[in-house]
Structures are given as structure tokens and as C-alpha cells.
Structure 1
Amino acid sequence: MALVLVVNAGSSSIKAAVFDGGLSETLRIEAQGIGQTGALRVGKAPARALALPDHRTAFTAILAGLRDTGIATADLSAVAHRVVHGGPDLGETTEVTPAVRAAIAAAQPLAPLHNPHHLSAIDALAALMPELPQYAAFDTGFHRTNPAVARRYALPERPETADLRRYGFHGISYESLVRNFTAQTDADLPPRLLALHLGNGASLCAIHEGQSVATTMGFSPLGGLTMGTRAGEIDAGAVLHLVGDLGLEAAQRLLHHDSGLLGLSGQTADMRQLAESDSERARFARDHFCYWITRQAGAMIAAMGGIDGIAFTGGIGENDSAVREKVLANLRWAGNIPSWVIPAAEEKHIARQALALLKAPAPS
């Protein structure tokens, strides 16, 4: 039976899972602390310390960990990667060819915190297993159905603005939610569905007749809602002011890593810890998170011309009932809207797409 290794590579960690041809997850494995104090976790066993200076070493350790559980390299039929940004040209899940790799590389300036690490993973596996097909699924792909008025910023047409648009992210999560909706809920997909992917990264998506028509993230995963460490909605003038005061690198760090729930609370980006805290700043951070969800939900509802259902997914969306109740209470003005909690299944969806491409006949 075909086995697909699904990979989500970051700067200091690689999360991977093996799926069989029936889309059952057979093993989860994670390399942590790449370039720092490394560790490898295989299945449910405790993580063990291991020197992991770079992504290639980390993948060597991951493949060794697979072999230790009885999964040989020859047993793998493909590797499928989550890639945050496909740039202006890549949307559909596709095999990684030299041209596709070049397009992912060209999109690095659009996702400097993500795409370089995806490329490191692709290159490391190509060196270790050159005959194994690799596929890329893009977080931006689902939102390519947004109308032009939703995608375009009000900027002049110049070469330097050509790639500046609202791309949107978490698309793999939303596409999976749409595909699995009926099986998960025993209900038909609502014509106008507000989907909320709430986790350390968070966004909303207006899904009309199964297609994305608007989403809160824009040019980068920094925009939109209050997130774990990302600022979310902020005036461009404030960003320019920060760059002028702090310099580009320090401003980037503040907006991406020191803001959001962490910045508001002064304590943590973890919603569970904030819920347990009796700090006024912790309560304010949670209120801020819910306020901006419901404020921007109004825009998503307007983009669909109404609302027929709400679906929560992601770590916070699935597990924090107080956040769900607050959001639903804030949206009572929209009527008695049915809501569902749908477990995120991004990796399974990526495996499904890779298997479909493996089985597809070669073009004549």
C-alpha cells in the first residue's frame, strides 16, 4: 500500500506524518530545535536529544526514525509538503519540478519567514532520496477564487507593486473543511459559511457555494486577526513609523514575534495559560482576540451577502469553548446561526491530493 510522508517544515522544526493509501495516519514524527539544541520525537515516545545542525541532518534523523519503526525509505511512494506561499502563479497541489521549485524560490520575498524553510526541506529530501516524487500544496491556493476587488490593494500599476495583493492563507485548512464538512457534521455545506481557523495563527474565510470569496489575511500571514505573536490588523502608517523608529529588522520582529496575545498580555501567547490567569492584561488579550474576530466577521458576512452557518477549526477553535461562546454571542445580531466544530485535517488533505496525483495518468 502506498505511503505518503507529509511534511511541514519551519525554521527550527520539521513536523511530519505518514499516511497510507487509505488515508490513515500510521506514524507522526518531529524534529525539534534544528540549529539549536536538537531533539527527535517518534510517535508517542519521549523526545530524545540529537544534534540537528540543519534541515538535511534533521531529515536524515527522521528517515532513520521511520526505519526504526519498520518503514523503510523504499516503502514511501511520495513526500508532500505544506508550502505557505505559491506566489502569483502556483495554486493547485503539484509535483515539485525544477520550474515549480524556482517559482517557490521566487516567492521567498513574499513569505521570508516560511518559504526558505520549505525549500530547505525540498532540497534536503531531493539530495537524500532523489528518485522519490515530491509534491507541494499551497496555503494560498484556495483563495484564488476571491474576486479581483477583494484581492487588489488600491495601489498604482507599477512593476514594484505587481505582486502586492491579498493572497490569503490557511487555504489547505479551509479546503479540507469544505471537503469534509458533510462527513463531519451530517449536514449539507451551507451556501454561505463563515469559517474560523483559530490557532497561534488565525484567520476567517467567507466561503460562498464552496469557494473562498474573502479572507482576513492578506499579503502575508501577518494581517487580519489578533494572533498568538502577530499583530494582525494595523495601519500601514503605524508600520512605517515603527520601521523609521526601530529599523526594518526590529520592526519585523516586533510585528511577527512580540505582538498579538503575547504583546497584549505581557505573559504568553498560549490561550490556555491566558484563560487560567487572573491578570487584567490576560483577560484583555482574550477579549481583544474575540473582538477582532467578530468585527472582521462582519466584513466576511458582507462579502457573502449574508450567513447560513459558522464552522470553527484549529487548536483554539476546536478546544476553547469560551472563545466560541463569546464569538457566537457577539454575532447574535446576524440571527440564529447554526455552528459546528470541525477538527483540522490539513495533513490528511495534503496526503489525499498527493495520492490523487500519484494515481493520475501521465500527460500524453
Structure 2
Amino acid sequence: MNILVINSGSSSLKYQLFKMPSKSPVCSGLAERIGIDGSFIKHTVYNKEDKHIIEQTSFISNHGEGLKQILKLLTQGEFAVITSPEDVAAVGHRVVHGGENFSGATIITDDVKQQIKKLFSLAPLHNPINYKCIEVAEETFPGAKQIAVFDTAFHQSLPEEAYRYAIPEWYYKEHGIRVYGFHGTSHKYVSEQAITYLKKQESKIISIHLGNGCSISAIKNGKCIDTSMGFGPLSGLMMGTRSGDIDPSVVFHLMEHAGYTLDQLSTLLNKQSGLLGVGGSSDMRDIRKLLGEDDDAAKLALDLYAYRIKKFIGTYAAVLNGIDAIIFTAGVGENDSAMRQAVCKNLNYLGISMDDDKNLKYKGEILAVNELDSQVKILVIPTNEEYEISSQCFELLKV
């Protein structure tokens, strides 16, 4: 069964084609700078021993045009992987916000589309683009089932004391003000990999997703019971450009005493803070280079970043009443051994003890980097959100 996975951003469109149940993609690609000068698509076709990379540069006016160009790459030329759109059984869409309505993969109907539209205000940068790609895919792959997999779905298992805010109930009932959580597809995938690795269905796991966006989740027996991102993706850990947790009084102060508008505050906290605001760059690799030049701001940025993660590990150890494993995943979590080391340093009281030599040896496969006598496993697990989306689509269609 051919399943095409689409993961769309505001100016990008990532995709992978899987011949399920195989975990290895047939092809993958990325359309970047959609609607911006310098648009391009990088398309990679895999076979057993090699891969073929096709790069094409031409202006892509919108996501619909991007998907049409991707269809040509899939069906035409020497490295075509399907003969026509009819070869695709399903298109799996990453949809960022599903509110309280969706706790799993869902076949897209007119009613589902209307519910996604109603959530535009909760994810204004993502849900409108996700919706547009659904409409385009319905036209481009008319015979395929269109399936939505929601970032928020994995967190629908949170208990009420974890998802409710301490404000009057009216705001929850009338405006949906609650914790929704994000990165759910990633947390679900890596925690299931950890459970298999541990051979322990009854487990207490802390999953740490560190990319440009960062979140941490407490997962008990495969179910999420708390997570750091809340009503939107701004809260919790320090991120590439987002502040993470901040006292709301700061917002009131800047509005009252510095004349900040809501737009200015949104820009400050979402686009000018985090690693960028403290250290001068949103890219962890750039911060590491600055650290090598004895840059004090870079050092502070790294210290803040690690400290915030430590605080949540302690919090979630209490919520879970113990820890079997912590997971590092995503771009920074998988590739920055020094950050993993900084986070795990001086956590012996929780039974967390890292083997620094093992930590340096991670090469892209699941690896335990803890000392042999560490009570808690420290796992580095590469996330695979596209496969997780494909897998959920496959299981849904099998029913």
C-alpha cells in the first residue's frame, strides 16, 4: 500500500512516500521557499544500494503548485516511483492542531475539514496551510483516502489536573483555554521505540524533543500524562526563537510601561527570544561556534537551555513517581552530545548517570548512553514523524 505523507509549513512542504508496511521510504523530498524568490525542490529516490537526488530550482507560487511539481517527480522521468496518482492509496497529512475533537488518525471528511477550520485561531501559522494542502491533495490524488494525523492527539490522554489552567471554568468551556501540547507525533513514536527497547509495557518515560521548537513530555505506560507546551507552542522549554515559560507579569509590564502592542509582544516572545535572543542565533551550531570564541552570551544561552530542561525532568520525575528512561530526540537532541551531557550532569539523585564515552558514539540508531549502573536509561532515539504518520494511516485503513 502506497502512502504519501505531507508535512507542510508556512513556506515549505516535506513529503515521503512509503510502501507500507516497510519502514524505509521509497522517496522523500522538500519543497522550500514556497511563494518566495529562490524556490526549490530536493527530491531523493532510494533503492537497496544507492539513492538518487534530483534538485530543481523554479519559482513555486503556492503549496498547490508545489504539490503539482512533486507529483511530476513521483510519476515522470527515469526515477519515477509510481505510474499515476491512482497508485497512492492514502495521503497522510500532519495537522498541527486538533483541539479536543481528535485523539487519533482521522479520515478527512467535510465535517473534519470544518473542524480544522474552526481551529485556525489556535494555530494561525499552521492549520490554514495544513487545510490548504488537504484541499490540493484532494484534487491531485482524487482516488486516495485523505487522512489527518494531529500533533495534539497524543496529548489527549492528559488528566484534567494537567490540562486545565487555574482560571474560571467559563474560559475553558467557551474558549477552549486548556493545555493541548504539541510534537505529539514525535513523542508517540520515540516513546513506543523506548518501550520496545526496554521490554517494559509498564514504564515511566520522559521524552525530550529538542529542535527549533522544544517540548518535553511525561509518559506513563505509553500514555502522555503531562507536557510542557500548552495552549500554544510558546510555553515550556527555551527554544530557537521562542522564550518558553515567562512570568505573564512581564507582558503586562511591557504593555503598560513600554507601550508594547500585542503584535510586538508576539514577535518578541515567538521570533526574537530563546537562543536567538540570548545567544545571538537560533541555530545551536552557531551558538557552539560562538562558545568556542569565549562569547559570554553564548555560554549563558546554553546554560539557560540546559537548566530549563533539568527543571522539567525534576518536575516530571515527581509527576511519574520515578523514571525508567529519558529520551533525547530531534535535531538538537540527537546531534548535540554536549547538550545531552549538560542536561544529565548532576542528576545522580534521580538515578541518572551518563557514560560520556557512549554519549559521543551516537551515530543515528537508538543508543543507550547511560552508565551500566545507572538506574535510569538515557536513550538517544532518532524521531521519524513521517513514518509515524504513515503507520497510523496504515493501521486506520486496515480496520
Same fold per TM (> 0.5)? Answer: yes
- Tell whether 2:276 aligns with 1:262: yes
8 A Cα contact 1:153 1:165, kept in partner: yes
Letter of the structure 2 residue corresponding to residue 30 of structure 1: L
- Tell whether 2:29 aligns with 1:58: no
CA, structure 1 residues 189+242, in 2 after alignment: closer, same or farther (shift >3 Å)? Answer: farther
By how many angstroms is 1:298 displaced?
A: 1.4
8 A Cα contact 2:40 2:56, kept in partner: yes
Per the alignment, residue 42 of structure 1 pairs with 43
By how many angstroms is 1:189 displaced?
A: 5.2
Q: Distance in 2 between matches of 1:276 and 1:110?
A: 36
8 A Cα contact 1:90 1:103, kept in partner: no
Q: Distance in 2 between matches of 1:280 and 1:49?
A: 40
8 A Cα contact 2:195 2:203, kept in partner: no
Per the alignment, residue 102 of structure 2 pairs with 90
Q: Distance in 2 between matches of 1:25 and 1:330?
A: 40
Where does 1:1-364 land on structure 2 (aligned, <5 Å)? 2-23=1-22, 24-37=24-37, 38-43=39-44, 45=53, 47-68=55-76, 69-70=79-80, 71=82, 72-158=84-170, 162-183=175-196, 185=197, 187-188=199-200, 191-242=203-254, 245-266=259-280, 268-277=281-290, 278=293, 279-335=295-351, 336=374, 337-360=376-399
Letter of the structure 1 residue corresponding to residue 385 of structure 2: E
8 A Cα contact 1:34 1:58, kept in partner: yes
Report the secondary structure of 2:89's partner residue: strand
By how many angstroms is 1:250 displaced?
A: 2.3
Letter of the structure 2 residue corresponding to residue 45 of structure 1: I
> Runs of 5+ in structure 1 lacking a partner?
none
Report the secondary structure of 1:246's partner residue: coil
> Structure 1 residues 160-169 or 280-289, which shifts more?
160-169
8 A Cα contact 1:191 1:210, kept in partner: yes
8 A Cα contact 1:56 1:124, kept in partner: yes
8 A Cα contact 2:86 2:143, kept in partner: no
CA, structure 1 residues 240+5, in 2 after alignment: closer, same or farther (shift >3 Å)? Answer: farther
By how many angstroms is 1:64 displaced?
A: 1.1
Report the secondary structure of 2:383's partner residue: coil
Q: State the TM-score, normalized to the length of structure 1.
A: 0.93
CA, structure 1 residues 127+282, in 2 after alignment: closer, same or farther (shift >3 Å)? Answer: same
Deviations 1:120-146 (A, max 9, x none): 111111232333211011111111111
Report the secondary structure of 2:209's partner residue: strand
By how many angstroms is 1:22 displaced?
A: 2.4
Q: State the TM-score, normalized to the length of structure 2.
A: 0.85
By how many angstroms is 1:276 displaced?
A: 2.0
By how many angstroms is 1:317 displaced?
A: 1.0
Q: Identity across aligned pairs (percent)?
A: 38
Deviations 1:194-243 (A, max 9, x none): 11111111111111121111111111111100001111111222234445
By how many angstroms is 1:190 displaced?
A: 6.3
Letter of the structure 2 residue corresponding to residue 41 of structure 1: K
8 A Cα contact 2:100 2:156, kept in partner: no
8 A Cα contact 1:181 1:189, kept in partner: no
Q: Distance in 2 between matches of 1:171 and 1:143?
A: 6
CA, structure 1 residues 57+241, in 2 after alignment: closer, same or farther (shift >3 Å)? Answer: farther
> Structure 1 residues 66-75 or 345-354, which shifts more?
66-75
Q: Distance in 2 between matches of 1:327 and 1:190?
A: 25
> Runs of 5+ in structure 2 lacking a partner?
45-51, 352-373
Q: Distance in 1 between matches of 2:147 and 2:253?
A: 41
CA, structure 1 residues 53+236, in 2 after alignment: closer, same or farther (shift >3 Å)? Answer: same
RMSD: 1.7
8 A Cα contact 1:30 1:62, kept in partner: no
Aligned residues, how many?
357
CA, structure 1 residues 305+85, in 2 after alignment: closer, same or farther (shift >3 Å)? Answer: same
8 A Cα contact 1:59 1:124, kept in partner: yes
Report the secondary structure of 2:169's partner residue: coil
Report the secondary structure of 1:347's partner residue: helix
By how many angstroms is 1:45 displaced?
A: 2.8
By how many angstroms is 1:186 displaced?
A: 5.7
CA, structure 1 residues 283+78, in 2 after alignment: closer, same or farther (shift >3 Å)? Answer: same
